[in-house]
Structure 1
Amino acid sequence: MLAAVILTKNSERTIRETLEGLVKSSYIPREVVIVDGGSKDNTLKIVESFRDRLNIKILYDEGRGLGYARDLGWRRTSKYIKYVAMIDSDVIVDRDFFKNALQILEKDGKLGAIGAKLKPKCSEGGILAKFQTKNLAIHLHWKEKPYPEEIIATHTACTVFRKSVLREVGGFDPYFRLAKEDSDISFRIRKAGYKLSYLEHYVDHLETGKRFWKINFRYGRSYVHISKKHPIEGKLWTKKNILLTFSLIFFPLELLIWLHYFMRYIKLDDINFSDAFILSLVETVRQMVRTLGMLYEIIFGSR
């Protein structure tokens, strides 16, 4: 009844733990579809070692991006599959998440998808490691109220989608190569009249700081893409983005932005003064990097 779709690319650092999490789940997916983006490390060798424990299919996305890869994955599941779990290759699924998610989806026909909450873990030291496990977005994510409350958008790191709803809304859009394919599918599911929710289940998200700035630049580029397709939900020139853009040429605004984030971080329960000072600094720089990505895509983007 359930298939899991996992996107990989040079994922040897984490893919073994991800697949072991599926094996240990109280509900093991009937199929595990691996969509690989051209791994040059031992990712696929590790995947092959699980064939005796999981029903694995391996596909290739030909470098066409996240939207295409996710769409390819769910469309290649078997006809009898009713639900599709999108799982990132650096996520360890909670033992009972699938079981409880399926129980709710079976009872509530208007629920289009239900996700787990992410609990970042980073074995590396340093400021970026601390930021990834304690940043403001994560705290806000944890405060989201679980089912039956609704959310505006879900992620694709660990979410179970109703396959018939994916089919009804046209699946994932290959236009979203870099990021925001999760926001796009969420907006379309809600526009089709279905609900999105979180379960109060936390899954480990194995973070690394190695590509932190590159990922955030790419994320900023995706702001332009989502605004073109969803100009209301993904409005590009928000007050925040206007302020961040001006701050790139008027330095005092950056100090105001840092102070804004400092005041928000200092109010978090598990953050002390020094943490708030450093984390708000990283947050400010991250927002600048995303803004640079957005401006790069506006000026140089081909779409």
Structure 2
Amino acid sequence: MKAATVLIPARNAEQTLAETLESLVRQTFRDFDVVLVDDASTDRTVDIARSFQARLNIRILSPDAHLGVAGAANFGLRVIESAYIARIDADDIAMPTRLEKQFAFLEANPDVDVLGTGMELFYGQPGNKVRTSIKPEDDASIKTALVQICSLSNGSAMFRNSFFRDIGTYDTRLAVAEDYDLWCRGALLGKRYANLPEPLTRYRQRGTVDVQKLQLERELDLLVKRKYLKALLGGESPHYLAEFFSLMTEFVSRDIAFRVVQQSTPLLFKLSRKVPNETMFGNIVVECLSRHLQQGRAQI
């Protein structure tokens, strides 16, 4: 059995999959195999995956129905027995030392359950700027940041297999927020996280904006936040705390924002005693206050 398995859900990925798999061929760490879940593709995705089987130990799974990214990932998780599971999407790229550095860190830090990396955000078209996304590094900061953001990048993560056995798999009802939900559930059950600050994964961004998808992302982002905040508050309703923290919420007027801040203040004091990094939490609250007490554009 290999030490690690790279899990790739793929649907109609013929334009990008070869580049993703080529990045795995170039890994300096070699003790891994690949499970690719073909999610009812209608293009050459499977043919491209098969063309790499001479250079990668790759197993192709084909469910009977279209499952979505979360469902396809869960389908692959059922068959993986390796101690470590690395996720990457079928349009992203792993830097050559990604698996080596993640494996070494997790071997040296047995208390860490999931390890993410920094992300280099790029567009497929030439000429577009490349940005770097670096998430909080330590467990306390990651869990505190979860009140506002998805503070680990799913496509960069390496998990201990035991993580999924203990907390369950992705919630397929939360498409586009299934990873955020996973981190929150794990945090509440005592799982420990870390992020490497180096951008070891390249994340492909799309040039077009899907308005419906953005609206779904906003709705599910708030849903996950409410669940996490309610749990941190011991079951007490978070009221508008999710909207207060969300980077996707802009209030229609300063007056509405002020009323939300007034209502949220007692809960913010309670929450400050529940998060593991109180200093970071204070900085997040100050940023939210500054942002919301300016004229907004979108009503909650």
Q: TM-score, normalised by structure 1?
A: 0.69
- Alignment correspondent of 1:108: 109
2:77 aligns to what?
74
Quick check: 1:124–1:208 contact (8 Å CA) kept in 2? no
Give the letter for the 1:108 counterpart: N
What do residues 17-54 of structure 1 show as CA deviations (whole Å, max 9, x unaligned)?
A: 11001010011353211122222222221111111111
Q: What letter is aligned with 1:14?
A: T
Give the CA deviation at 1:69.
2.0
Q: Distance in 2 between matches of 1:223 and 1:105?
A: 29
For 2:248 and 2:76, how far apart are their aligned partners in 1?
Answer: 39
Displacement, 1:196?
1.1
**In structure 2, C-alpha distance between the alignment counterparts of 1:241 and 1:107, rounded to whole Å:** 35
The TM-score normalised by the length of structure 2 is 0.69
Q: Is 1:96 the counterpart of 2:97 in the alignment?
A: yes
Q: One-letter code of the match for 1:159?
A: A
- Rate the CA distance shift 1:240–1:191 in 2: closer, same or farther, 3 A: closer
Which amino acid letter does the alignment assign opposite residue 20 of structure 2? Answer: T
Question: Is the partner of 1:120 in helix, strand or coil?
Answer: strand
Candidates 214, 239, 242, aligned match of 2:244: 239
What is the aligned partner in structure 2 of residue 167 from structure 1?
165
Task: Answer yes or no: is the 8 Å Cα contact 1:32–1:55 preserved in 2.
Answer: yes
CA separation of 1:214/1:95 partners in 2, compared to 1, >3 Å: closer, same or farther?
A: farther
Q: Give the aligned partner of residue 39 of structure 1.
A: 41
1:58 aligns with 2:60: yes
- 2:137 corresponds, among 143, 146, 152, to 146
Q: Distance in 2 between matches of 1:236 and 1:224?
A: 11
Gaps of 5+ in 1: 254-284, 296-303
Residue in structure 2 matched with residue 222 of structure 1 by the alignment: 220
Partner of 2:281: none
| Partner SS for 1:6 | strand
Residue correspondence of structure 1 range 1-303 to structure 2 within 5 A: 1-28=3-30, 30-60=32-62, 62-77=65-80, 79=81, 81-124=82-125, 133-134=130-131, 141-142=133-134, 144-146=135-137, 150-152=141-143, 153-176=151-174, 178-202=175-199, 203-210=201-208, 212-227=210-225, 229-232=227-230, 237=240, 238-239=243-244, 244=249, 246-247=251-252
Are the equivalent residues in 2 in contact too, given 1:91–1:158 (CA < 8 A)?
A: no
User: Which residues of structure 2 form unaligned runs of 5+?
Assistant: 144-150, 233-237, 257-295
Counterpart-to-counterpart distance in 2, 1:44 and 1:243: 37
Which residue of 1 is the match for residue 261 of structure 2?
Answer: none
How many angstroms apart in 2 are the aligned matches of 1:99 and 1:35?
23
Q: Look up the SS of the partner of 2:183 in the other structure.
A: helix
The amino acid of 1:191's aligned partner reads L
Distance 2:152 2:37 in 1: 21
**Equivalent AA in structure 2 for residue 65 of structure 1:** G
SS in 2 for 1:85: strand
RMSD: 3.4
- Residue 148 of structure 1: CA displacement? 7.6
1:184 Cα deviation (Å)?
A: 1.4
1:103-139 superposed Cα distances (whole Å, 9 cap, x missing partner): 111122220110121111114379xx55xx45xxx6x
* Identity %, equivalent residues: 24
Task: Select between 145-154 and 33-42 the one with higher mean Cα deviation.
Answer: 145-154
Cα distance change of structure 1 residues 175 and 40 upon mapping to structure 2, 3 Å threshold:
same
Is the Cα–Cα contact under 8 Å of residues 139 and 192 in structure 2 kept in the other structure?
A: no
| Matched pairs, number | 244
Quote the residue 2:269 is aligned against: none
String of CA shifts for 1:235-289, please: whole Å, max 9, x gaps: 6842366994653xx7xx9xxxxxxxxxxxxxxxxxxxxxxxxxxxxxxx9x96x
User: What amino acid does structure 2 have at the position aligned with 1:44?
Assistant: V
Give the residue type in structure 2 aligned to 1:26: T
